[in-house]
Structure 1
Amino acid sequence: MKFVISGFYGLGNTGDEAILESIIDNLRDQFDNPEITVFSLSPEQTAKEHNVKSVYRAWRHSNKEKVKALREADLLISGGGGLLQDSYPTKFLFGPLPYYLLIVLLAKLCGTKVMFFSQGIGPVKSRWGKTLMKLANLADFITVRDQYSKELLHKLGVTKPETVVTSDIVFAFKRKEDRSCIESLPIKGEEKLVAVSVRPWFGREVQFEQTAQILDYLIEEKQVTPVFVPMEGHHDWDASEKVLSHMKHKEKCLMLGTDFTPNQYLNFIGECQLTIGMRLHALIFSTLMGVPHIGFSYDKKVESLLKRSGMWEYSSVLEEINVEDLQTNGKYLLENHDMASKIITENAQSMRGEAVRNLELLKENFVK
């Protein structure tokens, strides 16, 4: 079969690149020599890293190549990830929501079938965004990564294609042994490592000071070594620096580089005793590796993941962080690591099965 994959690819976001790698690896597992084309902002890099064809994703150029790829494809895979949302400004043709839906419209005009694949939906709050979402009815089949997304789709009037709840396709990620991250750090191997993942969030910064207080407490009480994991390049690097600027013990912290692969970050998180932070896929990586985690939920997708991983009771909505509570929770999870890890590992197994279900549903609906 011939596939085109459309998503937030080629922009340096570790979570989205993990999604892409997982989709490609699993397509190759399920199909004999699938022909895969990825719409990417960095098409040459994407083509080289994944041994696929790649076309520039934006509208500035390569539009004839997009049309050609879609005409030749058997299926457009739209996803995964949180593509259909208007948290970022949605104007007439700009922003994620119109972009991904127009790609879907273009695919249908080319006679190509469409599957929304392992997507997280929302938020969609603007009037224009809600109007645009009606185009999602053009899809032939939809899988979403949580129940909230399915309910929101129906609320927005997307009812024509069948919608099935699965889980994030990264739960089907095929890990390869790689110690590049851990070997890049000046450590002896005896440290209690805590992965820290922070990100900017629309100018809000109080969480950086709160994170600093939690980390300082864990350094003093449990002698941990926090390691910042910048999963979206300089954006997360800058956010990590803001946390460090508030810390009393910043000299005890380390920072990974920004140029590691999703597989390398996944392997590193697996070496840690605890993860604290915001990035959804840092928390997914922690779940995959059985690492206890405390999440700061800035979006329903994070809350949904934390409930499914079993770590919601130790976590917090971003706007409701209570530093003392999370300090206590961090200490508890470090002291009861094996118990928490067992719960997470069992939940991860269930979500892994649901992730693979995305591929099974694809075959059931689109393979003749």
Structure 2
Amino acid sequence: MPKKTKVLLTKGHAVNNGDMALVYALYTALEKKGFEVSIATFHYEFLKEKYPDLPLVRELLDYNLITGATFIKKIFLKINYLINKKYKKFDVYISSPGGYLNSYYGLKKSLLPLVEAKKSHKKTAVYSQSIGPLNERDISLLEKYSKFIDLILVRDNYSKECISSINCSSSILQTKDAAFLLEPKKSKADPNSKLVAVSVRSWKHDNRNMEHYHNLIQNYCEKVLEKGYDIEFISTCQGVKGYVDDSITAEIIKQKIIKSNKNYQESIHIDSEFNSYFDLVKKLNTKYCFVIGTRLHMCILSLINGTPAFNISYEVKGKECYEYLGYNSYSADFNEDISIALSKFEDFISNYKNLKESLYDKIYEIHKESKEHLNEFINLMKMS
């Protein structure tokens, strides 16, 4: 029997169920192709307890370092890579799908593991990423590090344009969001369900106005409540100590709604507990009539599981995704004029049941494209 190619998905933040959706989708898709796949993640101890059956590996920088200085992290990462037998045994290193190659989060810590792997003559790639916006410093860094990356997959037109405008040494392939590698499902929710899921988040980059955003979500929620629906605030990011918790933002908005109308108090619930990826997916498939999602993967997971989702786009990635899905009329900007945003939302509420009927076919079409792009990726990387 020929030896299986060993693949490591690096840079996982799988406590975020959006990120878990991405790495799990790519992990399962590659496993079906016959590769031996592991997932390197931060919050390793917590996640190993929650997902004992997944092949998790501790990410190289998943330690409480005394200093946060970049040069210290770089030295630590290099030494850890050299002595970490578990991390060094792989043939192919793929930086996990997502939206972290921009100037909000910093490129160095994302790409340095690939640099070290390439120096050890491994195959390296970045899968299904949003690229940008990038400041001049990060453009220079990406140009420098791209010499160590064989292939970069981008997940939308904006990202393709961004990376095409710089001197990138990697080969480039355009795909869709990696979560669409997951098999789509039809909703199993009660057709008469009147429960709406609402996903919120805090976002202060790009001079975004949080007060305006709070007012926007309040207006959406009040519109839902006026029509006799109940609301459950739930997110891909919550319930993990030391990590982002969107239920804090949900509580702010809930109190604004109650202050406006106390009669709504019993109709609003906040789920603030950690839901495993599998538990969240089950809820999205069986519990809600539709979703209002600020977190992009709250929307994508809803759509994959047969539940219509209205998107609030805080970065370009949300707008781009809904554009190629053909659902751009069901996406509003994070700081959009409230009257325009409400008009879009009214159209969505009026049409979500019809949307639900055609949802599976639309998502299955994107799913097939994603699998074709995976095959192209494997061929370009010469992985088998």
Query: 2-side partners of 1:217 and 1:242: how far apart?
Result: 18
Q: 1:216 matched to which residue of 2? A: 222
Q: Identical aligned pairs, as a percentage?
A: 22
Rounded Cα–Cα distance in structure 1 between residues aligned with 2:120 and 2:235: 39
Residue 237 of structure 2 is matched in structure 1 by: 232
Match of 1:320 among 317, 320, 336: 336
- One-letter code of the match for 1:294? F
The answer to whether 1:2 aligns with 2:11 is no
The answer to whether the 8 Å contact 2:196/2:231 transfers is: yes
Letter in 2 for 1:211: I
- What are the within-5 Å matches in structure 2 for residues 1-368 of structure 1? 1-10=5-14, 12-31=15-34, 34=36, 36-47=37-48, 49=51, 50-58=53-61, 60=65, 64-67=79-82, 68-69=85-86, 71-88=88-105, 95=106, 97-125=107-135, 127-134=136-143, 135-158=145-168, 160-174=169-183, 191-202=193-204, 204-220=210-226, 222-233=227-238, 235-247=245-257, 248=261, 249-270=264-285, 271-322=287-338, 324-364=339-379, 365-368=381-384
> TM-score, normalization: structure 2?
0.82
Q: 2-side partners of 1:129 and 1:103: how far apart?
A: 17
Structure 2 unpaired stretches of 5+: 66-75, 240-244
Structure 1: give runs of 5+ residues left out of the alignment. 89-94, 183-187
Aligned residues: 347
1:176-222 CA-partner distances (Å, limit 9, x unpaired): 9999xx9xxxxx995412110100111723211221122112211x2
SS at match of 1:115: strand
Q: Distance in 1 between matches of 2:268 and 2:334?
A: 23
TM-score by length of 1: 0.85
| CA 1:257–1:174: 2 relative to 1, 3 Å | farther
Amino acid at match of 1:123: P
Contact 1:144–1:163 under 8 Å retained in 2: yes
CA contact (8 A) 2:154 2:160 kept: yes
- Which deviates further from its counterpart, 306-315 or 164-173? 306-315
SS in 2 for 1:7: strand
- Post-superposition offset of 1:156: 2.5
Once residues 350 and 259 of structure 1 are traced to their aligned partners in structure 2, the CA distance between those partners, rounded to angstroms, is 32
| Aligned CA distance change for structure 1 residues 9 and 82 (closer, same or farther; 3 Å) | same
Tell me, in whole angstroms, the C-alpha distance in 1 between the residues paired with 2:123 and 2:293: 38
Report the aligned-residue RMSD.
Answer: 2.7
* Displacement of 1:278: 0.9
Call closer, same or farther: CA 1:6–1:56 in 2, change over 3 Å.
Answer: closer
Name the SS for the 1:120 alignment partner: strand
What is the Cα deviation at residue 290 of structure 1?
A: 3.4
Deviation of 1:148 (Å):
1.6
Asked whether the 8 Å contact 2:184–2:364 carries over to 1, the reply is no
The 3 A distance-change label for structure 1 pair 54 and 358 is farther
One-letter code aligned to 2:179: V
Q: Distance in 1 between matches of 2:355 and 2:22?
A: 26
The amino acid across from 1:198 in the alignment is V
State the 1:341 CA deviation. 2.4
Take 1:366 and 1:56, find their aligned partners in 2: how far apart are those partners? 25
1:39 Cα deviation from its structure 2 partner: 2.4
TM-superposed deviation, 1:63 = 5.6
SS at structure 2 position matched to 1:359: helix
Residues 254-277 of structure 1: per-residue CA shift (max 9 Å, x gap):
222431122322232233222113
CA contact (8 A) 1:178 1:267 kept: no
Alpha-carbon separation, structure 2, partners of 1:139 and 1:63: 17
1:281 and 1:53 mapped to 2: Cα distance?
21
Residues 273 and 334 of structure 1 are in contact (CA less than 8 Å); yes or no, is this contact kept in structure 2? no
- Deviation (angstroms), 1:87: 1.6
